[in-house]
Amino acid sequence: MAATNPDEGLEDSAILLLSLGEDEAAAVLKNLGPREVQKLGHAMTALKAVPRERIETVLDKLHTQTAAGGPFSVDEAHIRAMLTKALGDDRAANLISRIMQGGETAGIESLKWMDAATVGDLIKNEHPQIIATILVHLEFDQAGEILKLFTERLRNDVLLRIATLDGVQPTALKELNDALMRLLSGSAANIRKAAMGGTRHAAEILNFVGQQVETSIIDNVREYDPDLAQKILDEMFVFENLMDVDDRGIQLLLREVQSDSLIVALKGAAPELREKIFKNMSQRAAEMLREDLESKGPVRLSEVEAEQKEILKIARRLADEGQIVLAGKGGEDQMI
C-alpha cells in the first residue's frame, strides 16, 4: 500500500493482512519474496492492540487506491523505467537481470528462504566458482553471513572470484543447476548473460562480513592484485564513512532514521562521528540523544552492527536517489 513514510506503509500492510482471514492472508504472502515476508512478519508481531479507527483508515486507503480507476497494463519498458528511477542504474540493472531470468533461477530463489548456516552447509564443498555464482544471486547481507561461515582460504578464494566475475554465463548456470541437485528449473541453454559480480558486488558483500573477516579477505586480494583490492575498497561504504558525508546529507539521513535505531548504532560509533550527528540536530534533540546514550545499558555488538547496517541501507538509498553523496574506504566520492 502506498504511503509517504515507508514505515507507515509497512504497518498499514501488516494491519491489512491481520484484518484478513488466515487463508486470504496466506494467499497474499505466497506472492511475496522472503525479504517482504520477513519485514511484514516483524511488523505484524510488533503490533499490539490496533484501534478500530486505525483499521478503518487503512481500509479506506485501500478502497481509495483500488477505486481510482479500472484495469491497467504495464509493459517491460515501464517496469525498467520504474525500477531504475527507484533504485538507480546499477541496482536496477542487477534486479532486472534476475527478473528476466524468471524460473531459471528458481533453485537460487529457494536459498533466499534458508538461514545462512543451512545454505553454507549446502554449498561449502562445491567448487569456489560455483559458490561465487550462487552468492552473487543472493542478497548482500545473506551472502556476507554465508561467507563468514567458510574457512579463511575458501572465503578468500570465493570473494576473489566474485570480484573478478564479469557476468554469469549459461554454462555456469548449468553447473549451478547440477551443484544444487536440480533445484534450478528448466534449461539453461537460452539464459542470457546476467550482469552480476565485479568489484561493486564484492564490496557490497564485504560490507556485511565484519571488520576482522573483511581485513583478512582484502589482504588476500591485495597479494593477488593490489589494484583490484583498492577498487573493492573504493566501492565499500561502512558506518564510520558517515564522517565524510556533508552536513546536509547527515540531516537528510537523520530525518529517516528512527531514534531507537540511532541510539543503538551510535553505541558503537567513534566519538567524532557522534559529535557530527549531534551537530546536525537541534539543540534539544541533541541533548535528548546524549542523555539516551548515557542511560542506555550495554548492547550486544551484533545488535549495534545490525542497526548500523539498517542506517547504511537508508544512506545507500538516499545516494541512489541522488540526495546525498557517499565516499567509500578509498576516500573518493561516489554515487552508489
Between helices 52-66 and 6-19, what is the axis angle to 10°? Answer: 100
Give per-residue pLDDT as tens, 137-152.
Answer: 888 888 999 999 999 9
Q: Is the pTM of this model over 0.85?
A: no
- Give the pLDDT confidence score for residue 335 in this predicted structure: 37
Q: From CA 129, how far away is CA 4, in angstroms rounded?
A: 43
334: which strand partners?
Answer: 326
- Give the pLDDT confidence score for residue 185 in this predicted structure: 41
Give per-residue pLDDT as tens, 200-246.
Answer: 888 888 877 777 888 889 899 999 888 898 888 877 777 888 888 89
Distance of CA 117 to the CA centre of its chain: 19
Got the DSSP string for 269-300?
S-HHHHHHHHHTS-HHHHHHHHHHHHH-----
Rg (CA), the chain: 22
- Give the pLDDT confidence score for residue 191 in this predicted structure: 36
- Give the pLDDT confidence score for residue 299 in this predicted structure: 84
Q: From CA 237, how far away is CA 216, in angstroms rounded?
A: 17
Low-confidence ranges of the chain (pLDDT < 70): 1-8, 21, 30, 33-35, 37-38, 41-42, 45, 48, 65-110, 168-196, 327-336
Question: 17 vs 12, 13, 62, CA distance in Å?
Answer: 9, 6, 12
168 φ/ψ angles, rounded to the nearest 5 degrees: -110, 115
Burial of 24 (0-12, 13-18, 19+ CB in 10 A): exposed
User: What domains are defined for the chain?
Assistant: 6-66 (1.10.220.30), 80-235 (1.10.220.30), 239-334 (1.10.220.30)
- Tabulate helix, strand, coil % of the chain (nearest 5): 70, 0, 30
- Give the pLDDT confidence score for residue 101 in this predicted structure: 46
Q: Is 198 left (phi over 0), alpha (psi -120 to 50) or beta?
A: left
Q: Which amino acid is at 243?
A: M
- Give the pLDDT confidence score for residue 94 in this predicted structure: 56
- Give the pLDDT confidence score for residue 147 in this predicted structure: 93
